[in-house]
Structure 1
Amino acid sequence: MNQEQRILILMTTTEMRRKGNRMTLYDLVNSLTSVDEDKTIYAKRPWQPGTAVVVATELDEGGVPDEAAKAGAEYFLEVFLANDVLKGWLSSLDKEPTIEEKCLRLIKYAEEDA
């Protein structure tokens, strides 16, 4: 990731936080290990660190829970899977990535592998 991309991500994240109390992917990733692993992450597209997310219990019958649907969010990843993806990725790195880099890794996984 080059400097220009980092600046864009930081600007987007800051802008999303100013729009209210909603949780962003950045906020969630920053505290992911404290989130109930039985929950599912729903995110509004386009997926980026500043994307609004909803963490909710997946419906038994499938589909998107009402609170996620009202936010215009769709399935992103289960919390346990997001934790597993980051743990596996972190074990192969020499340094701790930034929160933005962790977000981008989860987005890549959700788009390509989930």
Structure 2
Amino acid sequence: MKLIDVVKNIDNYDDEMTIYAARPWSATSEAVVEYETSDGKPPETANKLELGYFLEVFLVKEFIEGWNENNSVHIDHESVCKRVIEYAINDA
């Protein structure tokens, strides 16, 4: 799955889940959404694919909700994904 697919479908994921993605982050980065392990380490799937922590699902949902509230026009998924990546790099 690609990071843009995760962002497009973010409402389908449990808030307790975490997104893991390949660096450098882009809309086409390989990504998985999984629950963290009890010891806080990335899950096996993320390790096998060599994916690192990106953001928790609840943070992405909150960010997109807040961004949508401040925009009166429909924003395409590519732009939303780009802003989420910028948020992960600069503010999270």
What is the TM-score of this pair, normalised by structure 1?
0.77
Q: Residue 80 in 1 paired to residue 55 in 2?
A: no
Residues 2-54 of structure 1 deviation map (CA, whole Å, 9 limit, x = unaligned): xxxxxxxxxxxxxxxxxxxxx11111111111111111000001111111101
User: Alignment partner for residue 89 of structure 1, among 50, 57, 67?
Assistant: 67
Q: Give 1:69's aligned residue.
A: 47
Give me the whole-angstrom Cα distance separating, in 2, the residues matched to 1:77 and 1:96: 24
- In structure 1, stretches of 5+ residues that fail to align are 1-22
- TM-score (norm. length: structure 2): 0.94
State the identity %.
Answer: 39
Matched residue type, 1:34? N
Structure of larger gyration radius: 1
Residue deviations 1:82-113 (CA, integer Å, cap 9, x gap): 00000011111121111001101110111111
More helix as a share of residues: 1
Deviation above 2 Å: which 4+ runs of structure 1? none
Query: Greater relative contact order: 1 or 2 (C-alpha under 8 angstroms, separation 6 or more)?
Result: 2
Give the corresponding residue for 2:85: 107
